[in-house]
């Protein structure tokens, strides 16, 4: 049975409002892949993919050039390696 106050609760994040953000979230790109996977296969499957980073949008191929690993056992390993290159933090909007 649902609680009565569920209908009154506001969403945690308003969607569809605000400035656009260029590029795809890293998690979205990673979710389209199967694990384990080679770096060359990621580049083939995600050719031209642009990801969101704290410094603005970057091509995934450019980021992976800075990653020494050639084989990723898991999604977690892949995202950690990419984040070690691009960093973490707020993502700028298209107008910033």
Write down the pTM of the prediction.
0.74
Q: What is the pLDDT of residues 43-82, one digit of tens each?
A: 999 999 999 998 889 999 999 999 999 999 999 999 999 9
Which three-class secondary structure state does DSSP give residue 58?
Answer: strand
Which of these, 93, 86, 42, 47, lies nearest to 66 by C-alpha position? 86
pLDDT score of 90:
77
pLDDT score of 89:
82
Tokens describing residue 37: 């996977």
Which of these, 70, 82, 65, 71, lies nearest to 30 by C-alpha position? 82
Average pLDDT over residues 73-96: 86
For residues 43, 47, 52, 54, the Cα torsion angle rounded to the nearest 10 degrees is: 50
Domain boundaries, the chain: 20-86
Q: What is the pLDDT of residues 21-48, one digit of tens each?
A: 788 899 999 999 999 999 999 999 999 9
Which three-class secondary structure state does DSSP give residue 89?
Answer: coil
Q: Where are the alpha helices (DSSP H) in 18-71?
A: 26-31, 39-45, 60-65
Average pLDDT over residues 12-21: 60
pLDDT score of 91:
76
């Amino acid at each position: 049975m649902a609680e009565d106050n569920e209908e009154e609760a506001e969403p945690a994040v308003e969607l569809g409002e605000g400035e656009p953000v260029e590029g795809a979230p890293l998690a979205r790109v990673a979710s389209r892949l199967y694990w384990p996977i080679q770096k060359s296969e990621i580049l083939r499957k995600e050719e031209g993919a642009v990801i969101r980073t704290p410094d603005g949008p970057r091509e995934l191929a450019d980021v992976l050039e800075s990653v020494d690993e050639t084989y990723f056992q898991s999604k977690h390993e892949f995202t950690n390696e990419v984040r070690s290159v691009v960093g973490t933090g707020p993502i700028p909007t298209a107008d910033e």
